[in-house]
Amino acid sequence: MRRSFFVALLLQLSHASVRALSLFPTCSENEYTGGGLPGKEWVVQRFDKPGRNLTIHCLAYEVKPVDTTNAKDMGPGPCQIDHQTEFSFRLFVRATYKDSKSGEQVTEEYDVKDMAGGSLSDVAIRLAHKSDLSLVFANTAANHECGLEARVSFRFTHDAKVAAVSDVPVLVGVQPRIVHAKNSVPTRFIFRSSDSTKGGVSEREEFFLISAKEECSTSTGSNSYLMSHPSSPPLFDEDFTGANTSTFAARDVFIDTARAYRICSRKANTEDVTEVGVVRSFEVNPSYYQVVGGQNADGKVYVMKRTTIKFYGSDLDTRPRRNQAKFVSDTEDCDASAAGGVPETLALEPEDRFGPKATSVLWSWVLKRGGAYKVCFKRTGMPWVEVPSIDIVNSAADITNADGNITYRQPVDPVTKELCPMAPPNTPENRWSMYNSIMLTLKSKTLPSNYLQTLSKALCVPRTAMALSRVTHGKDGRVRLFISIFCEELGEDRTCDTVERQNYIISASKQGSEALAAAGIESAEGSRDMFALGDDPNPRMGWGRVLSIFAICGTVVAVACLVVYGVLKYRENRQYFVNFGVEDEDVDDMYISNIPTAGAAVNSAGTKGSVIEVED
């Protein structure tokens, strides 16, 4: 599985345009922007109707100081917190209702800040009273000069999965925010009572994780991860300081497999189980990176141009010789030497950031050579790991979380209209992957004519849904094609699905498909590369190209000779014209400077005999 990073080697460089960074995860096309000074609140949205149930399916945001125009700026300023890369703020759902007995207004707040990062989703809030609901951003900075601006995107519904019991706790936090499998320390989940007037979460209430393929309400509890009470304080993160901690509860759990899980709650002395949210764990830490500076409007990265990427994870460290990053060739493992002319000794930024709140770091570099590279990262005491781009993680989320109920179209042969074979089912044991393109290695060293028509039939993909992204050669001279598939662009009547076709092609190649062999395909593998120009490791020069180069060089030499000859003739004729009528022995070279000797007057002599005689 390749997660490579392509760098463009272009003859003409264009200025990079400034564009907003993509929010992760992708929740909605709508984004809300606002903020304020310390102690101030910004209501992101007032939900359109009062209710007792609300599920936040997805939430993403970016927060930055208002005194900077640089989206990646995490340097010194009034909002900076020592050793941290995060700022001080809250993002929460506020529920307000009027108590029927006292007539007083009651307000409950449920933090959703930790839903950012791609781990938490589908957080359900079940209320005891019908309430007015709103999503609120609050600046909690200690420095009164710190103004914060937030860009928020989210998706919600006015319902929640049916619960057989009342007062189901609300999931309000996870530490670390981006959950990693096989972490040396447990992942901590924070729960809050849905009704603070009835006290906190019972110590006897159980919480556990099950596969996202199952439902909490029907789970038997087998193969589950039971959460335990924390063995050491602090129980709560500083984000909850000031809250009534008696209504909160913390539970710890070790997660050993990168996948999606449902978070279930079970009341003491009952068999009723209720889902409170979904969590996704990632394979590596940092979990993904994003290009935040130096790319052009199309997202391309250039050689010899300073570029910055941002890593997202937990407990990152920018102190000297702690965490490191490097590029390696896309054909090498991350243990290989640094490539692209970028040393692995480059420091991460901003300096002196470490600890649980160091959740993102910057890495700036200038690549010297174009090509395809993997982005690798090493944390203190850990091996080098390959880090995927944020786009790959984002597009692969639905596949990773697939519950087996998704159906895909049976592909149809674009010529005969017969049904084509499909990829093996997407299961936890044989999980599908999402790619930018498929790399096909051909048996030949030249690209056959009209080859895309041949591929269309062999791969059961309509020609209009397939594009040739890049052509290069392997070290053995064989042609390598990178093809991109866009089935979804054909609309609802399409005869294929992109992700299914990608995984079918790779599976068929491994199984020695006769159809692929007949099309001249030696092998196929998924590619997560960003495409570039000028990175063919084996450029081949035929006789036609050699003769063309000789012809061009000969033409350049001939033109240069003609120019020199013309200049010499001009000088000769010009000199003859100026000295017309003078004897040869009296002719001086008009191009020799008449520099006066020291002490002589400049231009002191008059001009004599400046007459042109014309003979009949």
* pLDDT tens per residue across span 33-61: 999 899 999 999 999 889 999 999 999 99
288-393 folds as Immunoglobulin-like (2.60.40)
Task: Find the mean pLDDT for residues 305-315.
Answer: 91
pLDDT of residue 134: 95
Residue type, 427: T
DSSP 143: S
Residue 210 tokens read as 């099950």
> Is it the case that residue 23 has pLDDT exceeding 50?
yes
Helix (H) and strand (E) counts for the chain?
5, 26
pLDDT of residue 540: 42
Residue 100 has phi, psi (to 5 degrees) of -70, -25
Closest CA to 437 of 399, 405, 394, 480: 480
Between 12 and 499, the higher pLDDT residue: 499
CA distance 65 to 210: 39
pLDDT of residue 412: 83
Q: What is the dihedral of CA 403, 406, 412, 413, to 10 degrees?
A: -30
CA distance 166 to 195: 10
> Is it the case that residue 549 has pLDDT exceeding 70?
no
What is the enclosing helix (H) or strand (E) of 393?
helix 390-400
Q: Which of 40-44, 233-237, 432-436, 447-451 has the lowest mean pLDDT?
A: 233-237
pLDDT of residue 286: 93
Choosing among 3.20.20, 2.60.40, 2.30.30, 1.10.10, the CATH entry for 164-278 is 2.60.40
Q: Which of 286-290, 318-322, 379-383, 523-527 has the lowest mean pLDDT?
A: 523-527
Does pTM top 0.85 for this prediction? Answer: no
> Is it the case that residue 452 has pLDDT exceeding 70?
yes
407-527 folds as Alpha-Beta Plaits (3.30.70)
Q: Which of 102-106, 299-303, 347-351, 455-459 has the lowest mean pLDDT?
A: 299-303
Task: Find the mean pLDDT for residues 521-538.
Answer: 62
Residue 501 tokens read as 């076709």
Q: Could you write out the three-class secondary structure of 515-564? A: HHHHCCEEEEEEECCCCCCCCCCCCCCCHHHHHHHHHHHHHHHHHHHHHH
Closest CA to 211 of 118, 304, 301, 281: 281
Respond yes or no on whether the N-terminal peptide bond of residue 25 is cis (omega within 30° of 0): yes
> Is it the case that residue 227 has pLDDT exceeding 70?
yes
pLDDT of residue 603: 46
Between 209 and 547, the higher pLDDT residue: 209
CA distance 281 to 116: 13
Q: How confident is the model at residue 224 (pLDDT cuts 50, 70, 90)?
A: confident
Task: Find the mean pLDDT for residues 379-404.
Answer: 72
pLDDT of residue 178: 92
pLDDT of residue 413: 84
Q: Which of 241-245, 435-439, 482-486, 495-499 has the lowest mean pLDDT?
A: 241-245
pLDDT of residue 120: 93
Between 208 and 295, the higher pLDDT residue: 208
Burial of 401 (0-12, 13-18, 19+ CB in 10 A): middle
**Integer angstrom CA distances of residue 474 from 2, 133, 445, 517, 546:** 16, 59, 9, 18, 21
Residue 167 tokens read as 């007062």
pLDDT of residue 66: 85
Closest CA to 358 of 64, 143, 86, 104: 86
User: In the sheet where 187-192 sits, what is the strand order?
Assistant: 170-175, 187-192, 248-253
CA distance 275 to 123: 9
483-500 pLDDT, tens digit each: 888 887 787 778 888 888
Question: What are the beta bridge partners of residue 280?
Answer: 260
pLDDT of residue 74: 56
CA distance 114 to 192: 14
> Is it the case that residue 477 has pLDDT exceeding 80?
yes
pLDDT of residue 244: 63
565-607 pLDDT, tens digit each: 776 776 666 655 555 555 555 555 554 444 444 444 444 444 3
C-alpha 343: how far from its chain's center? 22
**Integer angstrom CA distances of residue 24 from 28, 99, 115, 288, 503:** 10, 39, 11, 10, 25
Between 203 and 252, the higher pLDDT residue: 252
22-160 folds as Jelly Rolls (2.60.120)
CA distance 294 to 139: 30
The structure tokens 């564009």 sit at 19
> Is it the case that residue 246 has pLDDT exceeding 90?
no
Residue 311 tokens read as 């890593």
Helix crossing, 498-510 with 451-459: angle to 10°? 90
**Integer angstrom CA distances of residue 477 from 2, 445, 472, 524:** 21, 6, 9, 16
Residue 607 has phi, psi (to 5 degrees) of -95, 130
pLDDT of residue 16: 30
> Is it the case that residue 2 has pLDDT exceeding 50?
no
Contact 280, 401 (CB under 8 A): yes
Q: How confident is the model at residue 609 (pLDDT cuts 50, 70, 90)?
A: very low
DSSP state string for 63-121: EEETT---TT--SSSTT--TT-SS--EEEEEEEEEE-TTT--EEEEEEE-GGGTTSSEE
CA distance 324 to 318: 8
532-545 pLDDT, tens digit each: 433 444 444 444 44
Residue 32 tokens read as 């809300």
257-293 pLDDT, tens digit each: 888 899 999 888 788 889 999 999 998 999 999 888 8
Residue 580 tokens read as 């017309």
Task: Find the mean pLDDT for residues 60-65.
Answer: 91
Which residues, including other chains, have CB under 8 Å from residue 393's CB and lie 6 or more apart? 24, 118, 282, 287, 288
pLDDT of residue 20: 56
71-80, 104-113, 411-420: which is most confident: 104-113
Which residues, including other chains, have CB under 8 Å from residue 154's CB and lie 6 or more apart? 27, 28, 44, 56, 58, 59, 60, 135
**Integer angstrom CA distances of residue 418 from 461, 491, 530:** 12, 20, 34
CA distance 259 to 279: 8
133-142, 160-169, 202-211, 228-237: which is most confident: 133-142
Secondary structure of residue 484 in the 3-state scheme: strand
pLDDT of residue 139: 93
List Cβ<8 Å contacts ≥24 apart for 446-453.
Answer: 446/479, 447/471, 447/479, 447/481, 448/520, 451/481
> Is it the case that residue 408 has pLDDT exceeding 50?
yes
C-alpha 103: how far from its chain's center? 50
Residue type, 320: P
Between 117 and 239, the higher pLDDT residue: 117
Residue 488 has phi, psi (to 5 degrees) of -65, -20
> Is it the case that residue 91 has pLDDT exceeding 60?
yes
Task: Find the mean pLDDT for residues 324-349.
Answer: 89
Residue 324 has phi, psi (to 5 degrees) of -140, 160
Task: Find the mean pLDDT for residues 382-404.
Answer: 69
**Average pLDDT across the chain, whole number:** 79
Q: How confident is the model at residue 563 (pLDDT cuts 50, 70, 90)?
A: confident
Contact 113, 239 (CB under 8 A): yes
